[in-house]
Amino acid sequence: MTPLALSSLSREELRRWLEARGHPAYRADQIRRHMLRAGEGGFASMGDLPLQLRAELEQSTAWSSLEVLAATAADRGLTTKLLLRTGAGHELEAVMITHPPRSGSRGRRTVCVSSQAGCAIGCVFCATGRLGLRANLTAAEIVDQVLESARRWDAESLGRPTNVVLMGMGEPLQNYSEVVSAIRLLHEWGIPPRQVVLSTSGLVPEIMRLAQEGLGARLAISLHATDDQLRDRLVPINRRFPIASLLDAARKYAAASGRRVTLEYVLIRGVNDDSGAARKLGQMAAAVHGHVNLIPMNPIPGSDLRAPSPAACREFAALVGPRATIRHSRGDRATAACGQLRASLAAEPRREKRILARELALVESPSGQPG
């Protein structure tokens, strides 16, 4: 029998679980404190719990639903990529990003979490897309990426995680219910939904469902193109949910949540970096009252696509207008940056071939016109 993942329970559920077994409910808070602390060696090290309770926990629950296979630091230790494995043997990655305090700001600790092992969408510029979907992660497996990060920050006395971005492996809205449960659970670990960003390639019905949910999480839309012909090729889900419907959903989400949406735009040299696209992007952002994050593309294995020069990125940003910010994703050297997450998994050969064919067509005729 698979053990019960402690991180799948809310605080109240853990209290009830304990009471049902004849233990006082307040033990829940003791256990949960241990789950955030550095150097915890599992139940054996929970010295303030009675031996019998420790034995029961050991027998029927799992301290963490993830095993850490490797941790790679970059950016002078400000970014750490964790390679993790689920109980079912699926590999995934999470990235810990430390923003040190600056004058006027207290510093933040952001965990970039995966919602799936692999991804089914197959965006042409993304390493995860080449893996295909290996598995949906459970809410506990999503939460445990944050708790594992919390223990590592605690080891350096850096404080608790403050923000979570669902920008690791996977399309969060294709794993809707586990992702929503995880966002709810994270609130009890000190991360309210307004400090969670859910990034999506654009599943319109699920965006609308999320708007109704009333969670209050922030939404980022991975736009990457301003016309359907190009977006169909970069982000294949666009064939089902074209740009106009996506922007409409973004506008409705913003209205329902009272939070501004972000449009993400990975800049790819010679593909989506022309001045016409920049102007259109500025108009689209204005129409949804949103902000634009321009992300110079990180190179990925097996692809010739590259970012424009830094000067060209700045020019593009200027044309988009005041709503645009250039974001360099952190951790390049540890290949921890956006889109580079592929665990230690090999691409799925037939899938990679299909994506490469799309890439070749893009480079030869970026606008989608033959010739």
Q: List residues near ligand SAH by CB under 6 A.
A: 119, 125-126, 167, 171, 199-201, 222, 264, 266, 295, 297-298, 300, 329, 338-339
Stretch that binds ligand SF4, among 116-124, 206-214, 346-354, 362-370 (CB under 6 A): 116-124
Q: Which does 300 bind (CB under 5 to 8 A by kind): ligand SF4, ligand SAH, none?
A: ligand SAH
Stretch that binds ligand SF4, among 45-53, 59-67, 115-123, 316-324 (CB under 6 A): 115-123
Q: What's the closest the beta carbon of residue 281 comes to ligand SAH, in angstroms?
A: 14
Inter-residue contact 30 to 54 (CB < 8 Å) = no
**Binding residue (CB under 6 A) for ligand SF4 from 64, 79, 128, 175:** 128
Token pair, residue 146, equals 């944050």
Q: What's the closest the beta carbon of residue 297 comes to ligand SAH, in angstroms?
A: 4
Which residue is catalytic, options 123, 126, 313, 338? 338
Q: With DSSP H G I counted as helix, E B as strand and the rest as coil, what are the percentages for the chain, rounded to 5?
A: 40, 20, 40
x/- site string to ligand SF4, residues 175 to 214, per CB under 6 A? --------------------------x-------------
Q: Which does 366 bind (CB under 5 to 8 A by kind): ligand SAH, ligand SF4, none?
A: none
Q: Which is nearer to ligand SAH, 63 or 232 (CB)?
A: 232
Q: Which is nearer to ligand SAH, 23 or 233 (CB)?
A: 233
**Residue 172 binds ligand SF4 (CB under 6 A):** no
Q: Which is nearer to ligand SAH, 149 or 329 (CB)?
A: 329
- Name the E strands within the chain: 4-5, 61-62, 66-74, 79-86, 91-99, 108-112, 116-118, 133-136, 163-166, 196-200, 218-222, 262-267, 291-296, 324-326
DSSP string over 17-51: HHHHTT--TTHHHHHHHHHTSTT--SGGG-TTS-H
Q: Are strands 163-166 and 196-200 parallel, antiparallel or unpaired?
A: parallel
x/- site string to ligand SF4, residues 221 to 250, per CB under 6 A? -x----------------------------
Question: What phi, psi does 336 have (nearest 5°)?
Answer: -105, 0
The CA distance from 283 to 162, in Å, is: 32
Q: Which does 290 bind (CB under 5 to 8 A by kind): ligand SF4, ligand SAH, none?
A: none
Burial class (CB in 10 A: 0-12, 13-18, 19+), 250: buried
The set of residues, in sequence order, having a beta carbon less than 8 Å from that of 111 and lying 6+ positions away, is 94, 95, 96, 97, 145, 146, 149, 161, 163, 164, 165
Closest CA to 143 of 58, 90, 86, 211: 86
Stretch that binds ligand SF4, among 35-43, 48-56, 124-132, 344-352 (CB under 6 A): 124-132
Stretch that binds ligand SF4, among 32-40, 49-57, 91-99, 123-131 (CB under 6 A): 123-131
Q: Which is nearer to ligand SAH, 61 or 199 (CB)?
A: 199
Token pair, residue 140, equals 């506990």
First-to-last C-alpha distance (Å) of the chain = 58
Q: Is 40 noted as a catalytic residue in this protein? A: no
**Residue 254 binds ligand SF4 (CB under 6 A):** no
Stretch that binds ligand SF4, among 118-126, 190-198, 212-220, 257-265 (CB under 6 A): 118-126
Burial class (CB in 10 A: 0-12, 13-18, 19+), 39: exposed
DSSP string over 70-85: EEEEEGGGTEEEEEEE
Q: Which does 297 bind (CB under 5 to 8 A by kind): ligand SF4, ligand SAH, none?
A: ligand SAH
Q: Is 313 noted as a catalytic residue in this protein? A: no
The CA distance from 113 to 333, in Å, is: 19
Which active-site residues does the annotation give? 93, 338
Which spans of this chain sit near ligand SF4 (rule: CB under 6 A)? 119, 121-123, 126, 128-129, 170-171, 201, 222
